[in-house]
Amino acid sequence: MANRKTLSGGSAAFHGTRHAHARCVGRALGRAEELCRQRGARLTYMRRRVLELIWDSHKAVKAYDLLDRLSDSEKSVRPPTVYRALEFLMVHGLVHRVDSLNAFVGCSGSDEQHNAQFLICQECGEVSEMDGAMIGQAVARQAAEAGFNVRRQMVELHGECPGCAAK
């Protein structure tokens, strides 16, 4: 009842609890590996670990939650470590920061440079990335009307995902 497959001009999918999430993770890590190899960037243990933790769910994750989850009883990981990994992952387009939540989410886009918009469910917390061409165009056009030169667009929509709407 929830997801369509592919949508004109962009797609956004909510996954809910029951889905083959191992595939999502696999895809993300595979892409990271591939992309880093292409660019000669190093997907180190720490960076991969952070990426895995982020992909533990489709929700946005707080930096300090990552911090806690990375710290076992032996060793405690410090903020800069996490933030540096996040920085790396963001630079390479593997992770996005959701500004309205102060949190991070795995990039589910395929191509390199994309105008991502985020649908954020206020109920279940799931975040879905969508590449809405229409939105991008509308944004570009209206900004142009104001003589404004858009470099980076941030679109974060809070509301109810299909699953939670059908509660």
Residue 37 touches which of DNA, a copy of itself, Zn ion, none (Cβ within 5-8 Å per kind): none
Phi and psi at residue 31, to the nearest 5°: -60, -40
Least Å distance between CB 51 and DNA? 11
* Distances, alpha carbon 37 to alpha carbons 13, 41, 108, 116, in Å: 28, 6, 19, 24
Span from 7-15, 43-51, 62-70, 106-114 in contact with a copy of itself (CB under 8 A): 7-15
Q: Quick one: three-class SS letters along 54-86?
A: HCCCCECECHHHHHHHHCCCCCCCCHHHHHHHH
DSSP run (H or E) holding 48? helix 45-54
Check residue 104 and report its DSSP letter.
Answer: E
Residue 64 touches which of DNA, Zn ion, a copy of itself, none (Cβ within 5-8 Å per kind): DNA
Comparison of 48 and 59: residue with beta carbon closer to a copy of itself:
59
* Distances, alpha carbon 147 to alpha carbons 11, 135, 138, 139, 155, in Å: 30, 18, 14, 12, 20
Comparison of 84 and 158: residue with beta carbon closer to DNA:
84
Of 8-67, binders to DNA (CB under 7 A) are 41-42, 44-47, 62-64
What is the pattern of x (binds DNA, CB under 7 A) and - over residues 138-167? Answer: ------------------------------
Binding footprint of a copy of itself on the chain (CB under 8 A)? 1-4, 7-14, 99-100, 117, 119, 121-122, 128, 130, 132, 134-135, 137-139, 141-143, 145-162, 165
